Amino acid sequence: MELIRRNIHMDRVRAEAVTQFTLEDDVNIPENKPDVSTLNLEKGELVIDEIRPGTDCVTVKGRISYVILYHTTEDGSCLVVLDGKLPFEEKINLQGAMPTDTVDVEGEVEDLTVGTINSRKLNVQSLVTLTARVEELYDEEAPIAIHGEEKAEYRQMPIDLAQISICKNDIFRIKEEVALPSNYPNIFQILWSNISLGDVEFKAMEEKLTISGDVHLFVLYGGEGEDHPIRSFETTLPFSGVLECHGCREGMLPDIRYRLGQQELAVRPDFDGEERSIGLELVLDISIRIYEEEKLDIISDIYGVSSEISTVTHRANLRRLLARVTGKTKVTDRIHVTGGSVLQLLHSEGSVTLEQQSTVENGILLQGSLSVKVLYITGEDDAPYGCAQAQIPFHYTLEVPDIAPEDLGKVHAEVEQLQVTMLDGEEMDVKAVLCFSTVVFKNIPVELISQVTVSELDSSKMSNLPGMVMYIVKPGDNLWNIGKKYYVPVETLRELNSLDNDELMPGQKLLIVKGG
């Protein structure tokens, strides 16, 4: 007897570890830059340069590239930009990893703090979180039929499955040219910029993925002229495109993660040769997982009628799509400004951090914080610009009916809307909408038959079975178990007892004839 099998394509995380560490350095102001009077803004970007897998570990080498905007009281431009880097090399314990593995490492700059030691020296501290994981593709072999001359009974279990069809990483490039409005001065130097993405959407099509969304761009720059007047410019740029994706078909289930990778912002001359154009080049790092849903009938048990059949099983975890959900929540708070007053708001930006997610009844409880930075004009000559920052906590339950702890999906979070308004010279009102999305797969633990052994019937065992018996149904009995006990086909039991279906009632009488 031979099992006819079907490969079920699966993916899993074989090893995963999270580590958190701090970086710190005292930074001297270069000789060609003026003294620091007041710190305004700072930001840090994590760059991973090298990943070296080892046995039960991985070594990550990289840096935090930071940019600091500060105010000076010296003659010239009142705002000055300073950049630098904090290098690191971190060894992460990753149980189960091997030197031949491909290890994916994601990182976040959880916090970047800049302090003034004196007018020529700053202290820079950063809290970094790294997540390392080894993902792998594998197949489960599921029996769907049997082939052979032996007379046997088998039953099938219908399962809705979600198999992985496509698993790869890709990049998408965005190139844009932005011209300043006519009433803006030419650009002398870009002091600060912020780039973020919004409304990013992927769709599975025939042999491709379509992508669309918006790029939000903010630029603070010093203009041409004797006093280098400070101007801010903000715009939203829609983008769309296509990623080639062999094997993709419409109707498949995409589970796609993206992050903003390399960013380049450059001042370029326009057609008249004036510095009035901003060239924008972005790279989106995209992790593509595309699944296909299928209903499969898997053999769950076999017994022999004319021979003894024994099976060997192994434990497997299959899965089906439980839910693809999105949810939104509003976050509100007020920011109080100390040490000055607000004359005009220039720019606000926000980022959301998920600090914890846990399964609750019919949902995923999300806890985290919204980080808000606001750049504003003070109207004071000695410090004309200020920055207010706040961490606003939130908790929200993303509704996922029938979810269990082992079904937890990875939640993607982003700031969909952020609005900051002045209440008075010392207080701002913050209103934000946070958006969450996830694909959750239901874990299906099953015992898959991996081996079948056929042998002759035990003569002593068969002689002890009556040739004919009137069997009284007990609670929990079914035709399958009764047929398996007496080596009788289920269909024979139906015919002998004129049964229209497989339902049995306790106390019901069944006629069983051996060898029937």
With H, G, I as helix, E, B as strand and everything else as coil, classify residue 328: strand
Percent of the chain with pLDDT over 70: 98
Average pLDDT over residues 222-228: 80
pLDDT recorded at residue 372:
93
Terminal Cα-to-Cα distance of the chain (whole angstroms):
22
Closest CA to 246 of 191, 209, 284: 209
pLDDT beyond 90 at 41: no
The residues, any chain, with a CB within 8 Å of residue 251's CB and separated by 6 or more, are 204
User: What is the amino acid identity at position 286?
Assistant: I
- Among the listed ranges 284-298, 457-471, 498-512, which one has the minimum average pLDDT value? 457-471
- pLDDT category at 486 given cuts 50, 70, 90 is confident
**From residue 4, how far is each of 167, 217, 298 by CA, in Å?**
27, 57, 10
Closest CA to 36 of 79, 85, 65, 86: 79
Closest CA to 78 of 68, 90, 69, 89: 69
410: left (phi over 0), alpha (psi -120 to 50) or beta: beta
CA distance linking residue 301 with residue 155, whole number of Å: 6
**Tens digits of per-residue pLDDT, 108-144?**
898 899 999 999 999 999 999 999 999 999 999 999 9
Q: What is the dihedral of CA 217, 218, 224, 228, to 10 degrees?
A: -170
**Tens digits of per-residue pLDDT, 10-21?**
999 999 999 999
pLDDT beyond 60 at 386: yes
pLDDT beyond 70 at 437: yes
Q: Quick one: tokens of 134?
A: 């080894």
- The average confidence (pLDDT) of the chain is 91
Question: Whole-model pTM?
Answer: 0.84
Strand ranges (DSSP E) for 456-508?
Answer: 468-472
Q: Residue 295, exposed/middle/buried by CB under 10 A (0-12, 13-18, 19+)?
A: exposed
Average pLDDT over residues 440-449: 93
CA distance linking residue 396 with residue 331, whole number of Å: 10
Closest CA to 286 of 173, 137, 175: 173
Q: Quick one: tokens of 312?
A: 């060997």
**From residue 470, how far is each of 72, 102, 304, 414 by CA, in Å?**
100, 63, 22, 67
Q: Quick one: tokens of 105?
A: 């490492």
> 308-336 and 275-304 as β-strands: parallel, antiparallel, unpaired?
unpaired
**Tens digits of per-residue pLDDT, 48-80?**
999 999 999 999 999 999 999 998 887 766 889
The answer to whether residues 163 and 9 touch, using CB atoms and an 8 Å cutoff, is yes
**Helix (H), strand (E) at residue 460:** helix 459-463
487: left (phi over 0), alpha (psi -120 to 50) or beta: left
**Helix (H), strand (E) at residue 461:** helix 459-463
Q: Residue 343, exposed/middle/buried by CB under 10 A (0-12, 13-18, 19+)?
A: middle
CA distance linking residue 470 with residue 492, whole number of Å: 14
pLDDT beyond 80 at 318: yes
pLDDT recorded at residue 409:
81
The residues, any chain, with a CB within 8 Å of residue 5's CB and separated by 6 or more, are 141, 142, 143, 144
Average pLDDT over residues 198-225: 92
CA distance linking residue 293 with residue 471, whole number of Å: 43
Tally of CA atoms within 13 A in the half-sphere of 97 that contains its CB: 27
The answer to whether residues 385 and 232 touch, using CB atoms and an 8 Å cutoff, is no
The answer to whether residues 65 and 87 touch, using CB atoms and an 8 Å cutoff, is no
pLDDT recorded at residue 131:
95
- pLDDT category at 515 given cuts 50, 70, 90 is low
CA distance linking residue 439 with residue 411, whole number of Å: 8
More confident residue, 286 or 271: 286
With H, G, I as helix, E, B as strand and everything else as coil, classify residue 482: helix
Cα radius of gyration rounded to whole Å, the chain = 33
User: What is the amino acid identity at position 279?
Assistant: G
Q: Quick one: tokens of 344?
A: 């005009």
DSSP letters of 55-103? Answer: TTEEEEEEEEEEEEEEE--SSS-SEEEEEEEEEEEEEEE-TT--TTS--
**Tens digits of per-residue pLDDT, 278-312?**
999 999 999 999 999 999 999 999 998 888 888 99
